[in-house]
């Protein structure tokens, strides 16, 4: 991702949004205050740091979930201040699907700009040993 200097602004904005949303949902799951805006303005370097941080933080959170906790419901306030509650399992599915949706947009925008997006298929990462078994 080092060739980012010529990437469209929207690509970097979506990447920052994906990472910020991952952090926001983890903070909600941990019952913590939101620390980043939903659509932050970030540099590629800031995104790289946050991506590493989120990888460690999510692994830590998931490793501490006990049996049956995926079914547990948590309450949180959305960015409009509205009170909601969802099961942990549903929140995790949302985080995964949200990221996938925006990664598709990023790939499309990069191709339109003449760049080659990263290969982000899940099964490819598994085959390459890029993901650790839980």
In this structure, are residues 11 and 110 in contact, taking their beta carbons and an 8 Å threshold? yes
Q: What is the CATH number that goes with domain 2-127?
A: 1.20.120.450
In this structure, are residues 48 and 114 in contact, taking their beta carbons and an 8 Å threshold? no
Q: Whole-prediction pTM value? A: 0.85
Q: Where are the domains of the chain?
A: 2-127
In this structure, are residues 1 and 44 in contact, taking their beta carbons and an 8 Å threshold? yes
3-state secondary structure of 131: coil
Q: What is the pLDDT of residues 71-125, one digit of tens each?
A: 999 999 999 999 999 999 999 999 999 999 999 999 999 999 888 888 888 787 7
In this structure, are residues 79 and 38 in contact, taking their beta carbons and an 8 Å threshold? yes
d(C-alpha 27, C-alpha 88), whole Å: 12
């Amino acid at each position: 991702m080092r060739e980012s200097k010529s990437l469209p602004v929207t690509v970097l904005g979506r990447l920052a949004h994906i990472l910020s949303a991952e952090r926001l949902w983890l903070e909600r799951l941990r019952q913590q205050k939101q620390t980043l805006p939903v659509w932050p303005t970030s540099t590629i370097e800031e995104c790289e740091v946050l991506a590493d941080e989120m990888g460690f933080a999510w692994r830590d959170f998931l490793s501490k979930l006990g049996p049956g906790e995926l079914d547990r419901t948590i309450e949180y306030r959305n960015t409009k201040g509205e009170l909601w509650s969802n099961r942990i399992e549903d929140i995790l599915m949302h985080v995964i699907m949200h990221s996938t949706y925006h990664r598709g947009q990023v790939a499309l925008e990069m191709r339109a700009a003449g760049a080659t997006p990263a290969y982000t298929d899940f099964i490819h990462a598994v085959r390459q040993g890029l993901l650790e078994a839980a």
